[in-house]
Amino acid sequence: MADMLSFLSRGGAKAPGSSGAAAPETASQGAPAAKAPAAVAGAPAASDLIKDGSDATFVEDVLKASREVPVIVDLWAPWCGPCKTLGPIIEKAVIAARGAVRLVKVNVDENPQLSRQLRVQSIPAVYAFKDGQPVDGFIGALPESQVKAFIEGLVGELGPGPVDELLAEAQAARDAGDLSTAAMLYGELVKVDPGNVAALAGLAQLYLDAGDADRATQTLKLVPPDKASDGAMRAVEAALKLAAAAKPAGETQVLEARVAANPADHQARFDLAVALAAAGRREEAVDHLLEIVRKNRGWNDDAARKQLLTLFDAFGPKDEVTVSGRQRLSALLFA
């Protein structure tokens, strides 16, 4: 411990004491170590990588353990807002490192002796230990990219993590029509990273493809509010809207007859476009909406253009119909 204190007194960590303590918040819930998700793609389970530490366990969990792999110590408190931001970011990065580094989370309110020994002046405070010695550190909530860089400074450049690999595998299974495997992989992803938008959106889309719009909607509700505008999220929401607009084949035929009889009936053409999109006749749907824009751009408060954007979200940005449709829409709007 004396060597550690000497390191800290020399300013070995990047930022100890560089800022004031975070202001208390009214929220009382803390940020303990994550519950263990299922092991993924051969990666260690979170319970093997992340644990809560204390005054009594510090020597065993940190000093001794760091002789095997680097150990990161995250000092936090339940009232600390930045701690709540940083905690999940560090946990995700540690899991992605696949056992190359471990994380010990220490509640400074419950472990004042350790806080004094580490000379903690501001939280969140993060220290990295190797071979029983502190070697690096920082203070404050850093973005995910900087946390990853911090870990790579300890263990070298990280390759794709298990989350990225599983996303690719799930998408490949879905593209191949193996929906059961895709669903299983997305489910494992959500266990590892509960707020992963791509995994939740993928799972929701699978439910929707199976005709279970209710479960798709419930799955989307698990997406964190700050990620609600993510492109994958918007795509599934748009697909849900299309599914809700599906009509029996007979009604679609009636709408087609109305448009054929009166090409200037924009409402009938609009309703037909929505029905065609819901039935999977995407190019025809886009054609009809573009025709409305061509004839009366501002009809019904720009409804045709807005519906086109909804369709493009549902189809995905790389879909051929989306790419072509956006080009044609731009040509009409800026002609």
Measured CA to CA, the distance from residue 23 to residue 34 in angstroms comes to 24
* 80 a catalytic residue: yes
| Residue 126 β-bridge partners | 74, 138
Measured CA to CA, the distance from residue 226 to residue 261 in angstroms comes to 48
Q: Which of 43, 83, 139, 154 is catalytic?
A: 83
Measured CA to CA, the distance from residue 241 to residue 236 in angstroms comes to 9
Q: Which of 46, 62, 75, 80 is catalytic?
A: 80
| Residue 129 β-bridge partners | 71, 134
Positive/negative CA dihedral, 39, 44, 48, 50: negative
End-to-end CA distance of the chain: 73
- How open is the CA angle 40-180-172, to the nearest 5 degrees? 70
DSSP H helices in the chain: 2-9, 46-49, 58, 81-96, 112-117, 144-155, 162-175, 179-192, 197-209, 213-220, 231-244, 249-261, 266-278, 282-295, 299-315, 320-333
> CA separation (Å) from 276 to 244, 251, 296?
12, 11, 21
- Report the catalytic residues: 80, 83
